[in-house]
Amino acid sequence: MQRKAKDRVVIFDTTLRDGEQCPGANMGLREKLEVAKQLARLKVDIIEAGFPIASPGDFEAVQEVAKKVKGPRICGLARCIDKDIDRCAEAIAPAGSKGRIHVFLATSAIHRKFKLKKAKTEIIKQAVLGVKRAKKHCPDVQFSPEDAARTERTFLSEVVSAAIEAGATTINIPDTVGYAVPEEFGDTIAYLFDHVPGIKNVVVHVHCHNDLGLAVANSLAAIQHGARGIECTINGIGERAGNCSLEEVVMAIRTRSDAINLWTGIHTRELFRSSRLVTQLTGMAVQRNKAIVGANAFAHEAGIHQDGMLKERTTYEIMAPEDVGISGTDLVLGKHSGRHAFKAHLQKMGFTLKPKELEGAYAAFIKLADKKKTVYDDDIVAIIQEQVSDIPSVYTLDYLHVSTGSTTIPTATVRLKKDEKISSDAACGDGPVDATLKTIDRIAGVQGRMLDFSLQAVTQGKDALGEVSMRVTFGDQTLTGKGSSTDIVEAGAKAYLNCLNRYLYSKKKRLPRQGRGHKSKETKS
């Protein structure tokens, strides 16, 4: 297929903004930077780096991504409110000509009546003022009518027309609550092209949520009716049921180019690595049967399938694993590998560590290599995750011993290090993990309550590194933490300490609470 510019679909990644709003998927600054750098390697066109007005942390993340990530356009989100727009402009300023301000305002009848309490004329006026103010700061302005899929088409046309006239260069049509079905959503896009003057002079994006499992289908319907931009996230993470999955929609466009006749600039061989990185850094596991990047995506168990595959791969595979970066050759280093080889491999994976972080990572790698026969890239990512945390470790685990069994009261002995001071204690519990966490509480003098505990193997094999993701409340704060080890009790202790350290750090610095509570109440999805 001859690639024409008019047939290119812009890929707008919002993993760091809408994806990060997913409960339990919070990332620190260093983690966001690692994801942003990987998105650049993936060659996404635009990175929505955050919602700068939401918190000091969001502002800093957008600003740092704008400073340090080259290639894609860097976008910040803002409501059609002066202070939001001005703050967003400040955050994206380091991106220069590659900066974008994305303003939004709800337009559906239900939002107008219950959330904004504004008439249609007031909505249009506020949208126009928002676009014009953003335009004073930045020539690249995107406007979204929030909940567009449930907005009356005639009014939606009026708002979009007014935004274009005010100077918006991109119009995004969100299905904020995942309400649309493909035929209907495609018709909405077609309606706008038929009824909005000047719409052919701007780029039309769509932003679909997955509440009915139709985000990818709706996005594909939209581009077949004239839209040329898809807003999506790695692994489809996001509010509630998530967003349009980047890897799924990109590979659908590529694999069915005969039917869709469009293309993207995505470097698809980076898809699998992008998925794994986001999984590791957010703790949001991908189900085994997930399309494109799930563990079963290219597995064939049925005899008839295996026979067909042996005779001709295309009998049961519509794409090659290599197309998305699955090679089966991520076996890496061993315990005899030196620092130079380790550093070189990290750079190949896209990680650049400070000297102190590199030493810590190498020491953890050697320790792991002594326990495991094989060390994989995913093991390395888990190690790096612990080294690049933005949160200083108030407490670190120095020693752990548990006694448990069907005829024994589970008991844990824990030794924690704080600065140069070592403290130890012991406690009993309902199981080895519970006993360990109770002991940590006794030492730290802080009472936490675990809300959620999930464990997944980072790699394959009996000696696989296990990663625990945990949600814990301390008073009125709910925090998420992760920890990894070949011992699941130790992994749980590290995850709990990660939460505890975040709590103590936020208390000391008086930072906004982590999680959904740190976001502004009105956020576009």
Query: Are 517 and 399 within one domain?
Result: yes
Q: Is the pLDDT of residue 234 over 60?
A: yes
The reply to whether 218 falls in a domain is yes
Which residue in 482, 474, 448, 457 sits closest to 25, CA to CA? 482
Do residues 453 and 437 lie in contact, with contact meaning Cβ atoms separated by under 8 Å? no
SS3 398: strand
| Percent of the chain clearing pLDDT 90 (strictly above) | 64
Taking the C-alpha atoms of residue 433 and residue 155, their distance in angstroms, rounded to an integer, is: 56
The reply to whether 398 falls in a domain is yes
CATH of the domain at 445: 3.30.160.270
Domain count, the chain: 2
Among 282, 297, 321, give the residue marking a domain's end: 282
pLDDT of residue 200: 95
Taking the C-alpha atoms of residue 475 and residue 481, their distance in angstroms, rounded to an integer, is: 16
By DSSP bridging, strand 449-457 and strand 466-474 are antiparallel
The reply to whether 419 falls in a domain is yes
Residue 173 domain boundaries: 9-282
Q: How far is CA 42 from CA 47, 72, 194, in A?
A: 11, 10, 34
Q: In terms of residues, how long is the chain? A: 525
Which ranges constitute the DSSP H helices of 171-226? 182-195, 215-223
Do residues 252 and 32 lie in contact, with contact meaning Cβ atoms separated by under 8 Å? no
With both helix axes pointing from N to C terminus, report the angle between 182-195 and 215-223 in degrees, rounded to the nearest 10. 30
Query: Are 54 and 153 within one domain?
Result: yes
The total of other beta-carbon atoms located within 10 Å of residue 312's CB is 9
Taking the C-alpha atoms of residue 395 and residue 356, their distance in angstroms, rounded to an integer, is: 18
Query: Are 266 and 365 within one domain?
Result: no
The label of the residue with tokens 């400070």 reads 354
Taking the C-alpha atoms of residue 376 and residue 498, their distance in angstroms, rounded to an integer, is: 23
Listing DSSP states for 304-363 in one string gives HHHHHHHH-GGGT-SS-GGGGT--S--B---TT--HHHHHHHHHHHT----HHHHHHHHH
Query: Are 386 and 253 within one domain?
Result: no
Q: Is the pLDDT of residue 375 over 50?
A: yes
The reply to whether 324 falls in a domain is no
Query: Are 447 and 523 within one domain?
Result: yes
Among 248, 282, 316, give the residue marking a domain's end: 282
Q: Is the pLDDT of residue 518 over 50?
A: no
The reply to whether 306 falls in a domain is no
The reply to whether 444 falls in a domain is yes
Query: Are 26 and 150 within one domain?
Result: yes
Sequence-distant (≥ 6) Cβ neighbours of residue 309 within 8 angstroms: 300, 315, 316, 317
User: pLDDT for 95-150, tens place per residue?
Assistant: 999 999 999 999 999 999 999 999 999 999 999 999 999 999 999 999 999 999 99
pLDDT of residue 337: 76
The reply to whether 323 falls in a domain is no
Taking residues 449-460, report their average pLDDT: 84
Residue 509 sits at the vertex; the CA angle it makes with 507 and 512, to the nearest 5 degrees, is 75
DSSP assignment, residue 287? P
Query: Are 343 and 251 within one domain?
Result: no
Taking residues 250-276, report their average pLDDT: 96
SS3 466: strand
The total of other beta-carbon atoms located within 10 Å of residue 338's CB is 10
Most confident of 249-258, 317-326, 375-384, 503-512: 249-258
Query: Are 275 and 378 within one domain?
Result: no
| Percent of the chain clearing pLDDT 70 (strictly above) | 90
Record the pTM: 0.81
Listing DSSP states for 3-15 in one string gives --GGGBPEEEE-T
Query: Are 404 and 517 within one domain?
Result: yes
Taking the C-alpha atoms of residue 487 and residue 468, their distance in angstroms, rounded to an integer, is: 10
CATH of the domain at 261: 3.20.20.70
Q: Which of 180-206 are b and which e, b meaning 16 or more Cβ less than 10 Å from the residue's Cβ?
A: bebeebbebbbebeeebeebeebbbbb
The reply to whether 44 falls in a domain is yes
Query: Are 356 and 482 within one domain?
Result: yes
SS3 194: helix
User: pLDDT for 62-90, tens place per residue?
Assistant: 999 999 999 999 999 999 999 999 999 99
Query: Are 337 and 472 within one domain?
Result: yes
Query: Are 274 and 345 within one domain?
Result: no
Residue 448 is encoded by which pair of tokens? 């936490």
